[in-house]
Amino acid sequence: MTSSASPQTASGAAAVHKLPLDGIRVVELSHMVMGPTCGMILGDLGAEVIKVEPPRGDGTRRLLGTGAGFFRTFNRNKKSIALDLESEAGLDALRKLVDTADVFVENFKPGRMASLGLDYETLKKRNPKLIYVSHKGFLNGPYEHRLALDEVVQMMAGLAYMTGPVGRPLRAGSSVNDIMGGMFGAIGVLAALHERHASGRGKEVQSALFENCVLLSAQHMQQFAATGVAAAPMPERISAWAVYDVFTLANGEQMFIAATGDGQWRALCAILNRPDLLADPRLATNNDRVVARTWLLQTLGETLAHLEGTKLAPLFERDHIPFASITRPEELFNDRHLIESGGLAPLTLDDGTETVMPLLPISIDGERLQPRQPIAKTGEHTADVLRELGYSDTQIQALTHGGHAPQEAA
């Protein structure tokens, strides 16, 4: 299909290596998090992603509060065209664009694509090689016509129950299912692209929030199947390890510390200068320590309350004791590992300002996948894309100003 433009970094420097999805064209008609995550992953992997927005722009661009970071986080490495899909001319332009695509990404409510004539059965007749990925609340079944949100499925699928204390279900603090849904959509696209090499035919791929969340709860389902005992919510759980908790250090700092094996237990006692605990026969094995967990955590807490995290961290790292300071998201901009490993990269936003963005958590031949172009302004690439489809400047002017193209494009 159509080849993508030469990859560019956010600063404009030419990329050296050809990316895995170079030459793949993706048309994305999606908003919020789930669909845009799929498009972002494909774009980071080198696909040309063309995001179709309404004339006023994707409403996600204007969200406040917890949604203020959505658009900039999940829409890098994309072009933007603005089309009025309430007009036949706008729909016709989109259909012509999809005719040139390898992949079509959507995440609208059930029935919306069919009402626009953009459902898979319709589009595959025009483009049999098209891979069509839908991001939904539920896969086919009794719930498929329900509307879903990340929070809705966390309540339905056991994740909120497992996260909060008994009687207080609590959603996870990020859009975990929306992001997972986009990831699984992208995985489905990659599988379908691979199969298309042999078959020459596209596929319909569906990814869904509810089924994502059930997968997250699967280990707890199987705990019950294996033991006959229902899994307790995380705050109420009986830990498999005695030392596996958050402790308060000097100056009120909090740190998670774990000792899951006897070697770690011995190292921890040495670091804390607690030979008495190591010699206590009540704490000889991990199972013994689990039985004694209540008073053990209390006495460890009393020792740790006088120690500083900056002094403990290198000792824990040296002796391979799992630990983590309790970090707020805004503190990650200064995380040493992210900075020195290249896990953060500058990204130019649609208003010309710059931010630092976490990259996909993968490397290929030791290289991280970078932003290649700034966040697109609404409709920034409309004229270029429509011109490529055969539209004249007069037709483009009519389409982009809410009118109708005076005649059919070639």
Q: Cite the active site residues.
A: 178
Phi, psi (degrees; rounded to nearest 5) at 382 = -55, -50
Task: Please state, in angstroms and rounded to a whole number, the distance separating the CA atoms of residues 83 and 101.
Answer: 17
* Distance of alpha carbon 23 from the chain centroid: 24
The answer to whether the CB of 71 falls within 8 A of the CB of 39 is no
DSSP string for residues in 182-243: HHHHHHHHHHHHHHHHHH----EEEEEHHHHHHHHHHHHHHHHHHHSSPPPPGGG---SSSE
Task: Please state, in angstroms and rounded to a whole number, the distance separating the CA atoms of residues 114 and 154.
Answer: 28
What contacts 80, CB < 8 A, 6 or more positions away? 50, 51, 53, 376, 377, 378, 379, 380, 381, 382
Tokens of 180: 């997972």
Backbone φ/ψ region at 331: left (φ over 0), alpha (ψ -120 to 50), beta: alpha
Instruction: Report how far apart the first and last C-alpha atoms of the chain are (Å, whole number).
Output: 18
